[in-house]
Amino acid sequence: MVVLLFVDLDPGLAALRPLGGYFVLRTGEAAAGPLPTLAQAYADAAPDMYGNPLIFRVGKVADALRAPEVRVAASVAHLGLAARLWSVALGCAALYGRVPDLDARLLHWDAGAGAPDDLWLSDVRPLPGDAAAVADVVLHGHLEPLSAALRARHRLAPGLLRGNAASALAGAARELDRWARRQGRADTAARARSLAAGLLAHPLLAGSGTLAGTAFRRRSCCLYYRVPDGGLCGDCCFTRPPRSSPQAPSG
């Protein structure tokens, strides 16, 4: 029998720091500074790339990847931000038994930074750490408005974005499971896997792929293979890059 011992969220979310990369979240009003919030990024606001951080981010990714069309960069940008959001929420849920309120009005984003996406949370407010709360925080609070904002500007199939969300979740759970096992923390690894399985059964993600342990195979393609020398992701629905990329299925 595994007994899970949780602690309250600390203002700096220090338990996430050893995980590094996609899991770390800076906190505090001063750290957030003048950066725009994700709520501003999702809003259908200024149409120019400098007035809207989401449009700016997609353009930055397109330039960095030399993407053949903007919708490829939009998909990659979506996947990267989804991975950050899932990693923070899943990491907190597994380590603390709580998640911070990641309200898009509290979460600030430096759209001009490199990968992984630079995020600051201006105020740490604890919420329950169960699958329902994580889904509410990430799926409803971020990925729904993010997908709507991207689809309003780019030809992205709903299945592609759903697959991106599921792939990012599975990847975060896999990394957390690996870290926990290396640290001898079987309880944390088990919780991460359980949360991921429950979240992938959510109506907004169900049917997006197949989970076996920590391995995931999605049923759509994120289009990364279309980037010069991009190749296939490890969980891609394809086994080899399609030869005729313009009409390749994307979900």
CA distance to 175, 192, 199, per residue, from 169 (Å): 10, 10, 8
pLDDT score at 3: 41
Confidence of residue 44 (pLDDT cuts 50, 70, 90): low
Which tokens is 213 given?
């342990």
Give the pLDDT mean for 238-248: 63
Give the pLDDT mean for 149-166: 94
Q: Which of 217, 211, 244, 245 is nearest to 233 (CA)?
A: 217
pLDDT score at 218: 93
The residue count of the chain comes to 251
Q: Is residue 96 scored above 60 in pLDDT?
A: yes
| Cα distance between residue 136 and residue 43, in whole Å | 19
Number of Cβ within 10 Å of residue 152's Cβ equals 9
Mean pLDDT over each residue of the chain, to the nearest integer: 89
Contacts of 250 (CB under 8 A, 6+ apart): 75, 156, 157, 159, 160, 220, 221, 222, 223
What whole-number percentage of the chain has pLDDT above 70? 89
Instruction: Report the range of poorest mean pLDDT among 95-99, 171-175, 241-245.
Output: 241-245
pLDDT score at 33: 64
Instruction: Report the range of poorest mean pLDDT among 130-134, 139-143, 227-231.
Output: 227-231
Confidence of residue 231 (pLDDT cuts 50, 70, 90): confident
Q: Is residue 230 scored above 90 in pLDDT?
A: no
- Strand 209-212 to strand 215-218: parallel, antiparallel, or no bridges (unpaired)? antiparallel
Give the pLDDT mean for 7-19: 92
Q: Is residue 47 scored above 60 in pLDDT?
A: no
pTM of the entire predicted model: 0.91
**Cβ–Cβ under 8 Å, residues 211 and 197:** yes
pLDDT score at 2: 41
Instruction: Report the range of poorest mean pLDDT among 5-19, 42-56, 226-240.
Output: 42-56
Q: Is residue 159 scored above 50 in pLDDT?
A: yes
* Residue 59 backbone phi and psi in degrees, to 5: -65, -40
Q: Please, what's the b/e burial string for 169-191 (b: 16 or more CB within 10 A of its CB; e: otherwise)?
A: bbbbbbbbbebbeeeebeebbeb
Alpha helices in the chain (DSSP H): 29-32, 38-42, 53-65, 70-95, 131-134, 144-151, 158-182, 186-200
pLDDT score at 249: 42
Q: Is 100 left (phi over 0), alpha (psi -120 to 50) or beta?
A: beta
pLDDT score at 1: 36
Q: Is residue 167 scored above 70 in pLDDT?
A: yes
Q: Which of 140, 157, 113, 170 is nearest to 42 (CA)?
A: 140
Give the pLDDT mean for 155-182: 96
pLDDT score at 224: 87
pLDDT score at 154: 92
